[in-house]
Amino acid sequence: MPGGGPLGWARLLLLLMTAAPWAGARPRPGASGGQPRLSVVLVACDSLDGRLTFYPGNQTVDLPFINFMKRYGTVFLNAYTNSPICCPSRAAMWSGLFTHLTESWNNFKGLDPGYVTWMDLMEKHGYHTQKYGKLDYTSGHHSVSNRVEAWTRDVDFLLRQEGRPMVNLTGDRKHVRVMEADWRNTDKAVNWIKNEAINLTQPFVLYLGLNLPHPYPSPYAGENFGSSTFLTSPYWLEKVTYEAIKIPKWSSLSEMHPVDYYSSYTKNCTGEFTKQEVRNIRAFYYAMCAETDAMLGEVISALRDTGLLEKTIVIFTADHGELAMEHRQFYKMSMYEGSSHVPLLVMGPGIKSQQQIPNVVSLVDIYPTMLDIARIPVPQNLSGYSLIPLLHGKAENVVSPKGHRPSWVLSEFHGCNVNSSVYMLRTGKWKYITYSDGYSVLPQLFGKTGWKFL
């Protein structure tokens, strides 16, 4: 495995951290004036809680390559999904439009065939494009059950496919490649960088989609089984600091918000769980995040080895988070922080090092940002705004043709495991969650206490 294993990654980190590879000339993303356009690599994983990328969430598990991106780049402290489930969130990221505009309502319905994505536009304007791994932004990639339950709210149907969340330890302390499919796609991306990208005469955009740290399928649950197994090896579990794991406090079932109760019930989480069970589920999830981080490291390593890192913007994000037994739930499908808060880190030439940006942003901002980096005119119908002004520290005095960036982000959910459409507005220190028509189910308003949001 390229760079793999404890010694390989230790050497890689030592090499990478000797100096920023773009310490010389620093062309700014989006800058003109005859500078060559920068290449872009986007690594998007599945179900990574964005709070793990900064304090205090980052105390629970060792994520060296996310930390590397923070040291030599920028981390967004308040980045959110526009819909906390796979296909709708990815449809928002690839289209730059809110979910009610794409009409990607659930995991069966994504973007319409032929929809023009940011990658399509970059290819049209001279970029070489390459995709590997999980995409999930077009229709039809998930089972029919994702349509049936989402629109009928058939609890019995859903419970027949959802297993109780559980953990599974596999292999030994030398077992590194647990999620083999993701590693194969990472190898493809690495090989493409080393054998193809290095010989290109034009800028490129590379996308790598990872399935981790999404829970694994649970075939023991029977036909139409869901994914309720948190699977890892001792190698990755040793990256977790058990004593730092917080055991979430649960409300009694009778005190839960009615939508939360429905979600907990249909996710098979209303039974008894010991504290050790909950701690193990969270620990295994964090270990899966550590394996994800190592794949990110392989891509960064390949860029460094080929000399491409000095002219490439690297972006790391996820489609949504993972509750990992917070609020008596796992999966996503919720506007609570574990589910809706995503990682967003940007590193490369012209990106300020060790910068933490508190502004609220969301996945629809990826589309205009990609076009901005490529110096392509940004369509004015997009829901998102380019992140480049924020990355350059000009958030307050740079106005795009659309006007000032709003001080809020919107997320919405219309899929399975929730018995009402859900909408969230995040602005400043507030989070407002409302349901369906806004009055038949009580809304919720949360304020920020210190660093913590619900």
Angle between helix 64-72 and helix 275-305 axes, rounded to 10 deg = 50
For 368, the 3-state DSSP assignment is helix
Residue 407 CA neighbour count, 13 Å, CB half:
5
The rounded distance, in Å, linking the Cα atoms of 260 and 277 is 21
Side chain identity at residue 342, one-letter code: V
CA-nearest of 133, 126, 129 to 298 is 133
**Could you tell me the sign of the dihedral formed by the alpha carbons of 344, 75, 190, 291, in that order?**
negative
Side chain identity at residue 142, one-letter code: H
For 435, the 3-state DSSP assignment is strand
The rounded distance, in Å, linking the Cα atoms of 48 and 89 is 13
The rounded distance, in Å, linking the Cα atoms of 393 and 99 is 29
How many CB atoms are closer than 10 A to CB 389?
Answer: 20
What DSSP letter does each residue of 33-100 carry, written as one string?
TTPPPPEEEEEEESS--GGGGSTTGGGSB--HHHHHHHHHEEEEEEEE-SSSSHHHHHHHHHH-S-HH
- Among residues 86, 87, 269, 416, the one annotated as catalytic is 86
Q: How much of the chain is helix, strand and coil, in % rounded to 5?
A: 35, 20, 45
What is residue 223's DSSP assignment? T
Both tokens assigned to 429? 């220190």
Q: Which residues contact 445 (CB under 8 A, 6 or more apart)?
A: 430, 431, 432, 433
CA-nearest of 38, 10, 127 to 349 is 38
Both tokens assigned to 413? 């959910």
Report CA-CA distances (Å) from 135 to 24, 126, 208, 248, 442. 35, 22, 9, 32, 35
Q: 3-state secondary structure string, 184-199? A: HHHHHHHHHHHHCHHH
User: For residue 433, which phi and psi values (nearest 5 degrees)?
Assistant: -120, 125
What is residue 366's DSSP assignment? H
Residue 86 is among the residues annotated as catalytic for this protein? yes
Give the pairing type, strands 39-45 and 312-318: parallel
The residues assigned a catalytic role are 86
